[in-house]
Each structure stands twice: as C-alpha cells, then as structure tokens.
Structure 1
Amino acid sequence: MITGIGVISPLGNTPEDLLNGLREGQSGIAPFTQIPTDALPISNGAEASAFTGHISDYGPLEKTLQRTIRKGSKVMCREIEMGVAAAQLALHHGGHNPDDFNRDRTGVVYGCDYIMSLPEEYAEGIAACTTDGEFDFTKWGDLGLPKVNPLWLLKYLPNMPASHIAIYNDLRGPNNSITLREASAGAALSEAVSTISRGHADALVVGATGSRVHTLRTLHASMQEKLAADTEDPSRMSRPFDTSRDGSVVGEGAGAFLCESLEHAEKRGATIYGEVIACSSSAVGPAAGDQPMRKGFANVLRGVLQAGRQNGFAPAEGKVDVGHIHAHGLSDVDTDICEAGAIADVFGFPGDQPPVTTAKGHLGNIGAGSGMVEMIASLQSLSSELFPIRNLNELDPNCLIAAVTSNDQPAGTNFINLNITPQGQTSAVWISKPR
C-alpha cells in the first residue's frame, strides 16, 4: 500500500504542483543554468529549478534532523540530495511517526543510476601534475591524489541515497539499491513489494532519483544517444509519438513512496493513496532479433497483466480494465515506435487500448527518477481527468496508440507505467486506487 508521496521535479516539488503543471500544459524544459554549454550540441534541458538543496526543500524536519542532513550534504551530490529530499517528503506526507513503526522492520529500497563525479573534484590534483599544458600521470600518486577530497567518492556512489535515508531516519530493516537506468524505479518498487509480501518488512521507503543534467553526463548523452535539437522555443523539444520528433531531452528529479503492508497501514490508521497490483521486468537485447525493445515492452505488459490476474485484480480471461498507460514516451523515433508496437501487440488496435499518455513531453528524460515521478503523476490523476501528451500535434502513423490529446479523458482508477533503458532492460508497474 502507498501511504506517503514525495517528489522533486522540473514542475515543482509537491505532487499537486506536478499534476497541475501537467494538466495546464506547462513545460520544465528551458535553457540550462547548472552546466556550461560550450562543448554541448544542446543548450536546453529540464532542470528541477525549484530544488536548491536548502534544508527547507526536505520538508518539515525536527531541528536535530535538520542539523544532521545539513552536515551530511557535504558528502551528497545533487542527485543524492534530490533522492533524500523526496524520501523525507514522502515520510512526512505519510505521517511517519517512529513510535508507530518497528525500526528493525522498516527499510529502504531506492533506484539510482551510476553517478558521475564533477570535473571540479579532480581539478586541483590535475593542475598539480600538469607542466606546460602536459599532464604527467607518474606524479599523480605523490602530487595529484593528495589534492582530492578523501571523501569524494561518498558523494557519487549510487547506494548512498538508500544509505542516507536509512541513517537519517534510523530505519534498520531491509536496505537495497537498484541501478537500472530508466527501469530503476519500477524495479525498486517490485523489490519492495516482494520484500513486504514475503514478510521481511512492514514498511519501506521506495523511490528513485536521477539527473542527466550534469557537465559530463549531458555530454555523454549527446554522444551516445539521439537528443532533440535545440528549438527557438525549448518547450517544443520533447515531442513523444509526434511525427516531427527528433530525440529525447535530458532532465532531472526524484520521487518516493512510503509503502506498507495493508495490515500495518490499517493498524496505524494511515491514509492509503494507492495499491501496487503487480510488477514485471524483462531484459531483451539485439540477440532477440528485430526491434528488441518492442519485445521488451510486450514482455512486461503481458507479465504485469498475468500477475494481476493471478492475484485476482483482473479476470482470468477476457478484456482487462486498465484505466490508462503511462508510457515511456521517450520522444526518440525508434523507441516510440517499438513501445507503440508493443502496446498494439498486447491490447490490439487503438480502439481497444487503454488511453496512453506520458509526462516526458513536459519533463524530458529524468533517467533513473523517471518512473517514480511518472507514477506519482498518474497516481494523483486517478478518478479524475488525465493529462494529455504535450507537443503531440500529429501522431506518427507508425505509433498506433490511443494517445491522450485533450484534458477531458478520464484517468480511470488504475494505470500501468512503462520504462526502458537503451540496453533493453524494461519495467512495468500496475497501480490502482485502494480496493
């Protein structure tokens, strides 16, 4: 059961701000303010500009915890700070009171990508080993390494979000870190559900954080992936499923849930916002033949529907009532075609499909944090209207999906979220309003 929600996003740092921004068609994509663009082919991305790293961004905290987090920020890069902040916001939103939780049975499962160090970490050391513009590696051990902060690595380890969250809140139960790029959030939630279901924990803080807005990470993305070209209006750069799309947009953010067993949530009188019905994952590479991503998307869709049938949420046979699909919607030409093809493979023609939307037209690709931010957006919209796909003016004829293009489409009472990595690791999560 989902009993608390926290989010850091390019559209704001509350679930309400996020959903309102999506419904109003706002875009978080704008000129970069955090990184230099001289060596980049792009100059725009989706920064979580409302997150400054100030202690107030972590929500209401006791004075002792405020001091602890301020001290810990010295060994937290921005990606980790956003992840910790989302978790603290989720704990506060869920009414976390340590007296109502068994610390030994409350833990953390967090998704994160590999985190790249900032060049500034090594600048002084490199300068000490450079003469007349030439770097002498033989001097590194004696002259360079001593100039590097001995704690620098702690700022960039992908297991540190889960570590900090557990330490700050004295959560002594299961602790796990998932590093599967864009599939991280779905995989983390799947691990959390399994951990609680098998009786190893009563409650878990589950989330994911990611940033592709980074001096080196953005450069790597521009060299390894197809990014959208700059436009006069940056908000037009991400165009999922549109015939004119030309690539993805880098973004940043984090999201977190407080998850509990039904018994534990009811015992403490918690408000239940959602129920995780089923999770599924797959890994399909080039060896699978043409369009491996299409196979990956289809695998997790079939897997999550089958799991839903097995636990009684869906009928054993016949049509399954899915309120909507929150697609990966990368805005990459080939990836969108594969995803749309998989949705058609599983659900049939658009008239037989659930409505399909995505937030990446507003937020870009947040990397490991994408799935969690998207799940929060969809969860907030249940039993109300769904947000349309931004910048979808002409649906690609190769993407036969029931695309949401207006604000009057009901979101239904449940949804499936999809995410995939360039390497074909795919996750799907099915979430419903509590039954």
Structure 2
Amino acid sequence: MKKRRVVVTGLGTINPLGNNVNEFWNNCIEGKSGAGPITKFDSSKFKTHFACEVKGFNAEDYFSRKDIRKYDLFTQYAVAATDEAVKDAGLNFEGLNDKERAKIGVIWASGYGGISTFEEQLQEFYSGDGTPRFNPFFIPKIITDIAAGVISMRYDLYGPNYCTVSACASSNTAIINAFDLIRLGRANLIIAGGSEASITPASIRGFNASQALSKRNDSPETASRPFDMERDGFVAGEGAGALIIEEYEHAINRGAIIYAEFMGGGMATDAYHLTSTHPEGRGAALGMQAALEDSELSASDIAYINAHATSTSAGDLSELKAIASIFEGNRNVLISATKSMTGHLLGAAGAVEAILTILAIRHQTIPATINTTSIDPAVPKCLNILIGHAIKKEINYTMNNTFGFGGHTATSIFGKME
C-alpha cells in the first residue's frame, strides 16, 4: 500500500519565551532567556530559586470563570496552544458530518498531568482535620489524558483520542503517533502536542533531590548552558506546543498553507537506567537511525538537529556521542540546544521544539545555543554546534530529538515542502 504523505498545517504555543508562535520564534532567534525567579510559590528554602515560567497567561481569554475551576493549568495551556494552532491552520469544524469528525483526532501528551491540583488538594487534606473535602473535579483535573478529552469536546471531534506518557519524550511520541495514524489512513487530521505545568514545590524539590536542576541562583538567565564545561543541571520550564498534523491531499483540498512535510519518526529505548541515559547514547542512536530509515533519508540530508541537550553532565555527552556515531563527523549538520532559552518543558518539550525545527525550515534560519562559553572537551570534535547567534542556512530537512527518564527516546524529522 502506498504511504500517505503527512504535513503540518498549523502551530500554536504557550511557553517561557512567548504566548504565541511569532513571539516565541522572534525571542528565540534573538537569543533571549526565559528564566527568572520562581513566582508560583515561595522557593526560599529550596536549593533552586528560579525556573522558566510562562508569563502573562490569562485563562479567562480561553475559558469562562466557571470552566477555569474544572481544569488544571496543564489543560489550560493545552487549550490555549491548540486554539492558536487551529486558527493558524484555518480550520473551521462547522458543518462537518459525523463521518468527517471521526477522522479528526487528538493525541496530547504530558509527563506530569495535573500535578499542581494534586499537590494543592493533598496539602489541604493533610493540613485539615482529616475530613476528605476534595474538589469534585479532583480526578478529572489530575489525570493525564484529560487535556486530549477537553480539546476533542471543545471542537466536537470524534476521531482517535488519547495521551502519550514517555517522560520528556512524551510530546514527540504524540506527534509521531499522529503521523503514523494518518499515514495508515486511520485519521485525516490530528491535533497533537503536549503541555506541562510542573513548576510546583514537589516537582522542584524532587528534581533537586535527584541533583538534576541547576542551582545557579545568582544568574538564572545563564543557568541553562548545554555542552558547557560548567553546566550543573537543567532549568525547569512549563508551557505547551500544538501541531495540526494532516494528510497531504486533505490539506490541499481545503486550501491549507503547509509549513513542512512530516517525513518520519523513530522511537527506541536505552534499557539502561531509571534516570540516566546510556553513556554512549545507545537508545538515542537507535531512535535517530530509525527516524532516518522511516523517512527514507540519509544522515547527509539533515541540515539541522534540535538536540534534547538539557544541560546535564551525562545527558548532553551521551546524545552528542550518539549523533557523532550516526552522522560520522558530517560538519554540514548544525546542532543547537534551544533549552538554553526555554528551559526544559519536560513532557511539552518535544512539541515546542518540533515547532522550532519546522520554523527553521520555513525561515531558513537556525536558532543558536546561548550561555555556552566553553565547550566541554569531552564533546566529539567532529560535531558542529551553533553557539551564540542564529544564522541563515539552506535547510531541507531537520531532526528533533527528545529523551526521557526510563530510557525513552523519540526523534522526528521534517522536510521542506516541495
């Protein structure tokens, strides 16, 4: 059976660098940092006092006051990003029949789900007299799949609907799943992405306990420094990224503007450690190779790789070793780590960074890695890492890497629309 072509026709985001796609892209190209002091709770007794928070988000722009009470912040971010993507794609669901709606789905990811609601409700319970006075929306607010359900209800869509959870690879897994379902003919259009609202006391303290977070409290904006000799951990981030993923003929028939072609995806597993990546990047290399094979491309076709690169000592190096093993020292491939600006959006990272790799094709521009001043000498010398400033470059194909606790890896590849 001939494979159906799959394209991306809409983008939406809420993240530490902007509350829409244009703001996000412009700030990223200018090399701005989204990091600053934590405002969501008192972090004075924590080892880390900063994060990359979403700024100026107003839930009342998307929901009634009554509905706001029903949804955790991760779901609110999901709806906000999706609304932008739907408008950007020029979608109008009015007038569709049931058969057509059954071919439109939602696959939404999150690593944490409604963690802020979970923490708040348990704190109220244990600080009280023990009487269980839980919010009636407690369960639907915290379950990870609820964002996908809310999005489908918002637009009255009947197609495939579920969530993917693979830690920090979650939303890249979601968009690859969407690609596969469309290619197989099980859907014509899928809203896919991920959201995270995990800047909470338990999350920050938990990552502190595992020595994963940077503690550069005197200079938050320079704390995320992938590949740098003095990197000391990642910076927690939050937000959402949404993509409208669509079958090519379906997009053409409705006159959609196409951002890029979704070429393929690959997923694998390190099978090595609870939280650490394999020292030689075994799972990362397998996932990248699988994505290239799925896309029917060679490593020499890729012009830009948005690295997972969280600014942790072991993780950065294992990924770069994996890249070096696949790309065999091809210095035409530029690598950058945009988490140096956004921080690590955990389950939302893959979708937000997919947006960047797609926009890199659209604008023929590669965003840089900021804050890195002295590259770790253990970094393979054959790799070409873009540091400091964005550059113009001819780009036909881009690669987006994401990896998660548990050894999960996911790699997606996008191409210039011919």
The verdict on a shared fold, with TM-score over 0.5 as the criterion, is yes
Q: Which amino acid in 2 is paired with 1:25?
A: G
Aligned to 1:419: 402
Measure the CA separation in 2 of the matches of 1:168 and 1:71. Answer: 15
Measure the CA separation in 2 of the matches of 1:425 and 1:220. Answer: 20
Aligned to 1:137: none
Aligned to 1:232: 218
Check conservation: 1:230, 1:237, Cα contact below 8 A.
yes
Structure 1 position 29 matched with structure 2 position 29: no
Structure 1 position 15 matched with structure 2 position 13: no
Aligned to 1:77: 72
SS at match of 2:59: coil
Check conservation: 2:49, 2:217, Cα contact below 8 A.
no
Measure the CA separation in 2 of the matches of 1:290 and 1:123. Answer: 34
Structure 1 position 91 matched with structure 2 position 86: yes
Measure the CA separation in 2 of the matches of 1:17 and 1:336. Answer: 28
Q: How many residues align?
A: 402
Unpaired segments ≥5 residues, structure 1 = 59-65, 130-139
Quick one: structure 1 residues 226 and 287, their matched pair in 2 at CA, closer, same or farther if it must change by over 3 Å?
closer
The CA deviation string for residues 239-274 of structure 1, in whole angstroms up to 9 with x for no partner, is 001111111110001000111101111111111111
Measure the CA separation in 2 of the matches of 1:183 and 1:191. Answer: 12
Structure 1 position 257 matched with structure 2 position 243: yes
Q: Which amino acid in 2 is paired with 1:272?
A: I
Q: How far has the Cα of 1:214 moved from its partner?
A: 1.2
Aligned to 2:290: 303
Check conservation: 2:191, 2:242, Cα contact below 8 A.
yes
Q: How far has the Cα of 1:118 moved from its partner?
A: 4.3
SS at match of 1:122: helix
- Name which of 324, 328, 334 aligns with 1:348: 328
Once superposed, what is the RMSD of the aligned Cα atoms? 2.0
Measure the CA separation in 1 of the matches of 2:124 and 2:304. Answer: 52
Q: Which amino acid in 1 is paired with 2:49?
A: S
The structure that has the greater radius of gyration is 1
Quick one: structure 1 residues 172 and 352, their matched pair in 2 at CA, closer, same or farther if it must change by over 3 Å?
same
Measure the CA separation in 2 of the matches of 1:411 and 1:366. Answer: 28
Q: Please, which moves more after superposition, 208-217 or 269-278?
A: 208-217
Normalising by structure 1, we get a TM-score of 0.88
Aligned to 2:385: 403
Aligned to 1:103: 101
Measure the CA separation in 2 of the matches of 1:266 and 1:218. Answer: 45
Measure the CA separation in 2 of the matches of 1:181 and 1:286. Answer: 15
Runs of 4+ in 1 over 4 A off after TM superposition: 287-290
Check conservation: 1:208, 1:369, Cα contact below 8 A.
yes
Normalising by structure 2, we get a TM-score of 0.91
Q: How far has the Cα of 1:223 moved from its partner?
A: 1.3
Check conservation: 1:297, 1:342, Cα contact below 8 A.
yes
Q: How far has the Cα of 1:335 moved from its partner?
A: 0.3
Check conservation: 2:277, 2:315, Cα contact below 8 A.
no
Unpaired segments ≥5 residues, structure 2 = 1-6
Please list, as runs of the form range in 1=range in 2, the aligned pairs for 1:25-424 lying within 5 A after superposition. 25-55=31-61, 58=62, 67=64, 70-99=65-94, 101=96, 102-115=100-113, 116=115, 117-129=117-129, 140=130, 144-145=131-132, 147-286=133-272, 291=278, 294-309=281-296, 314=297, 320-349=300-329, 351-352=330-331, 354-382=333-361, 383-400=363-380, 401-405=383-387, 406-410=389-393, 412-424=395-407
Q: How far has the Cα of 1:409 moved from its partner?
A: 4.6
Measure the CA separation in 2 of the matches of 1:123 and 1:287. Answer: 32
Check conservation: 2:199, 2:238, Cα contact below 8 A.
yes
SS at match of 1:87: helix
The CA deviation string for residues 111-133 of structure 1, in whole angstroms up to 9 with x for no partner, is 1113323433134433443xxxx
Measure the CA separation in 1 of the matches of 2:394 and 2:400. Answer: 13
SS at match of 1:75: coil
Measure the CA separation in 1 of the matches of 2:280 and 2:135. Answer: 41
Quick one: structure 1 residues 278 and 225, their matched pair in 2 at CA, closer, same or farther if it must change by over 3 Å?
farther
Check conservation: 2:112, 2:198, Cα contact below 8 A.
no
Measure the CA separation in 1 of the matches of 2:146 and 2:81. Answer: 14
Quick one: structure 1 residues 224 and 98, their matched pair in 2 at CA, closer, same or farther if it must change by over 3 Å?
same
Q: How far has the Cα of 1:179 moved from its partner?
A: 0.9
Quick one: structure 1 residues 385 and 123, their matched pair in 2 at CA, closer, same or farther if it must change by over 3 Å?
closer
Measure the CA separation in 2 of the matches of 1:42 and 1:52. Answer: 26
Quick one: structure 1 residues 263 and 39, their matched pair in 2 at CA, closer, same or farther if it must change by over 3 Å?
same
